[in-house]
Structure 1
């Protein structure tokens, strides 16, 4: 057990210290504001305040963890050895930066509460983030800081029994379009044929016809392959089904389709199924509730996890709506345009609501890569995409974190656009 002396115990301080010590470093932590209790403690202990009590392990605190609400904060990013860091702590501090205040700033998504220009989908733009501006988006710096801090702690307290967590991989599959051609209804199917003719896509026309007549498998129906990989290699795999009403941005087949219901049920027999809330649920609690109930009625099981379609996330409103509906886990934390770590950590964490200054029960699982990001936004080749994924995976392995990937069922279709991505998927989740 680690004892932390501080002049004031706040919800922010309790929240971020437990992330560093309990979830990353596997060290139980307790707090005290009593000097005599701190002095009497014989185990590992640190002071987190403005001034040290003596010659103990001391971290000079930034004001952030003792404040409330949102303020405009001046941030200068420097280097701790070769690792970007901020909130310099001065020469008296045992480590050069207040990693706890810095970690809270990044993980609470403090910057997303500040005024910013949204992108065309009303999202917080990646390029506005501190991590992208300062070139550390592809490093889980909070976890790296934690292990650098641990090195110093081990020097000060070498006899303490330090545990080590295990690296994990979670493969998540978004089902935006369960089928490329089949079960779309008469109007959409006829429109698809006309569109193929108008754009002179003769191969597409032919494949559409063969699939609809059951002479050829629908290319997006890759669920058996995904489940086989899950079973054979014991890959933790989660499926997120989009079952919202048809819109410009939500184009899955109808949730009333018996074929679609049957597919969802069959996947749910072998893997965990979550909700992929549709485009317009981002600030619409009623629509979100409707879709959650719709999926629960299909699989006859409570839905406890979700990821927003188009990664549309309005903090804190979207998360507040999810909490109200008893969603326990969310997997939206990531960017569409760039790969990396939106919250600067590869460790699942609980959402801290800055509006109410509380740690909520909603657990956030930040993903590191999305297939569409690599191919469409970053315009990388297959080889470049695989190299980028493996580089990020190695960053997570270095800190024994949780590597979460986001693929789509159509990514394994081996159609002209996604040629070779089945191999990429296997290499990523198996190696």
Structure 2
């Protein structure tokens, strides 16, 4: 047990130390504000104050973990052996910056509570972030800091046994539209034919016709092929089905169609299934509640996992809505059209609500790759593989989001990338 001496034990401090030391490094931790208790402690100990008491292991504290609410935070980026970090410490500190305050800043998404310029969907964009601005978005800085901290810590306390995590690959599949042509109702089907002709997409017209006559498989209905692929590479993917009502941004077929129900049930027999919350449910909790209930009824299992369609994620309201509806696992922490680690980490963490100053029961599973049609195919493969390597170095979870639509035959490059990732990391897949 590591004993930490600090002037004040706050919810932020407890949350961050438990995450960094216990969850990531496997070091159990306890706190004291009494100097005599600290001095009398003969085992592993460290101080987290402005000035160390003596020559003990210490991290110079920044004020962030002792504050409440949100304020402007002054940030200067420096390097710790080529890794960007901030909240610098003096030479008396065992490491050159306050790893705990910096980790809290990243994990709590502190910067997303500050004023920012929203995109057309009202979202926080990667360009607004500190990590983007200072070029460290594509590395999991929090996990890298933890590994570097571990090295310094073990040099000081060689008898301490730390847990070794294992690298895992976690593919996720969004299902915004289960079928390209099937089960869409007469009006949508006729409309589709009209659009094909109007836009001179005759091959699509023929394709649509062949699928509807049963002469060809629906191109988006590739679930059996995906299940076979995952079995071959011994990988468990998570699937997220969009089952909200038809709307401008939500185009799936009706959840009341038997074939769609069978499809979801079938996939849930082989894989973990969650809700792809509709665009509209972002602002309307009633819709989110209705969609959760629909999926519950369909798979006859409690629905705990959720992702927000279009990565509509606003702090802290969306997460509060999820907690109210008893979701326990969220997979929306990442950017829609930019590669990288939105919270600076490749490890799951509990959502800390700064407005209420509490650690919540909602576990956030960050991802660093999400398909977006705009991403340039060649460059992207290289960058994605590079990020996977970074995650491997810190034994984190490499989570990537694909769409069934993208993995259809129409997108050979993305399908190829998907299979390559499975081949490269199949032994490390999430079981």
- Bin of the TM-score, shorter chain as denominator length: over 0.9
**Distance in 2 separating the partners of 1:226 and 1:147:** 35
**Distance in 2 separating the partners of 1:377 and 1:41:** 57
Contact 1:5–1:35 (CA under 8 A) maintained in structure 2: yes
Contact 2:337–2:370 (CA under 8 A) maintained in structure 1: no
2:420 aligned to 418, 424, 427, which one?
Answer: 427
**Distance in 2 separating the partners of 1:371 and 1:81:** 33
Counterparts of residues 396-407 of structure 1 (less than 5 Å): 396-407=391-402
Aligned position for 1:151: 151
Aligned position for 1:276: 276
Alpha-carbon shift at residue 45 of structure 1 (Å) = 1.4
Of 227-236 and 1-10, the range deviating more from structure 2: 227-236
Q: What are the Cα deviations for residues 104-157 of structure 1, in whole angstroms up to 9, with x where unaligned? A: 011100111111111101111110011101100001000001111111111111
Counterparts of residues 28-107 of structure 1 (less than 5 Å): 28-107=28-107
The RMSD of aligned alpha carbons is 1.1
User: Is there any run of 5+ residues in structure 2 with no aligned partner, and where?
Assistant: 425-431
Contact 2:276–2:309 (CA under 8 A) maintained in structure 1: yes
Q: What are the Cα deviations for residues 8-63 of structure 1, in whole angstroms up to 9, with x where unaligned? A: 11100011111111121111111111222222323321110111111001111000
SS state of the match for residue 216, structure 1? coil
**Distance in 2 separating the partners of 1:362 and 1:232:** 32
**Distance in 2 separating the partners of 1:227 and 1:43:** 51
**Distance in 2 separating the partners of 1:366 and 1:147:** 19
Alpha-carbon shift at residue 72 of structure 1 (Å) = 0.8
Alpha-carbon shift at residue 232 of structure 1 (Å) = 2.3
Contact 1:283–1:317 (CA under 8 A) maintained in structure 2: no
SS state of the match for residue 105, structure 1? helix
**Distance in 1 separating the partners of 2:43 and 2:356:** 34
Aligned position for 1:347: 347
Aligned position for 1:138: 138
SS state of the match for residue 192, structure 2? helix
User: Is there any run of 5+ residues in structure 1 with no aligned partner, and where?
Assistant: none
Aligned position for 2:404: 409
**Distance in 2 separating the partners of 1:283 and 1:55:** 53
Matched, 1:196 2:157: no
SS state of the match for residue 427, structure 1? helix
Aligned position for 1:217: 217
Contact 1:182–1:211 (CA under 8 A) maintained in structure 2: yes
Matched, 1:167 2:170: no
Q: What are the Cα deviations for residues 366-396 of structure 1, in whole angstroms up to 9, with x where unaligned? A: 0010122xxx233x12x33221211110010
**Distance in 1 separating the partners of 2:197 and 2:313:** 38
Q: Which runs of 4+ in 1 moved over 4 A?
A: none
Aligned position for 1:360: 360
Aligned position for 1:236: 236
Aligned position for 2:427: none
Contact 1:23–1:347 (CA under 8 A) maintained in structure 2: no
**Distance in 2 separating the partners of 1:232 and 1:36:** 59
Contact 2:337–2:371 (CA under 8 A) maintained in structure 1: no
Aligned position for 2:428: none
SS state of the match for residue 301, structure 1? coil
Matched, 1:377 2:377: no
Matched, 1:317 2:299: no
Q: How many residues align?
A: 424
